[in-house]
Amino acid sequence: MVSQRPVAVLIGPPGAGKTTIGEALAAHLDVPFHDTDAAIEADQGCSISDIFVLEGEPAFRALERAEVARAVTAERGVVALGGGAPMDAETQTVLAGHLVVFLDVTIADAAKRVGFDGSRPLLVINPRASWTKLMNDRRPTYERVATHRIVTAGRPVADIVSEIAEHLRAAR
């Protein structure tokens, strides 16, 4: 396998728009898009929620750690990570040296995007309170790991994509 580097790695909490923005950014840059959560689901043949229920969060995090490590060496386009992936120390190490964009979102926008339904295993009980606590706990790590922070609140996807593309041009 030839080692490649993603042009950008997107991180952020559930509802930040990592997949939507990642797909649009990849299309804008004419590069592939890779979602680590979707890759895990395809590989395992079941949803992340099912992995959490059937095997537990530690098993999911091990799968996630391995997929992120693979993706940042093998994918050449835009890579979107699951919301919890950057919390892992090994994942933080593999992200070092990459262009990592933290998509910073408010709870109002996140709620519109994900609807806080049962498909988010860490948000099943009291979704709004769980999301707020999760974001408060994760924010320092997102900010430390990221090379760029993009505030997405109330903004159209095209504007966010343009801002990220500008950061990419400046980073070259």
Look at residue 2 in the predicted model and tell me its pLDDT. Answer: 41
Helix segments in the chain, DSSP class H = 18-29, 36-44, 48-55, 57-74, 89-95, 107-114, 127-145, 157-171
At 65-118, the pLDDT tens digits run 999 999 999 999 999 999 999 999 999 999 999 999 999 987 766 666 555 555
Where do the structural domains in the chain lie, given as residue ranges?
A: 8-171
Q: What is the distance between the alpha carbons of residues 168 and 172, in angstroms, rounded to a whole number? A: 7
Please report, rounded to a whole number, the percentage of residues in the chain having pLDDT higher than 90.
Answer: 68
pTM: 0.88
Crossing angle for the helix pair 36-44 and 57-74, nearest 10 degrees? Answer: 120
Burial 86-119 (b: 16+ CB within 10 A, else e): bbbeebeebbeebbbbbbbbebebbeeebebeee
At 22-47, the pLDDT tens digits run 999 999 999 999 999 999 999 999 99
Cα 76 to its chain centre, rounded Å, is: 16
Look at residue 3 in the predicted model and tell me its pLDDT. Answer: 44
Crossing angle for the helix pair 48-55 and 57-74, nearest 10 degrees? Answer: 140
Fold classification of 8-171 (topology level): Rossmann fold (3.40.50)
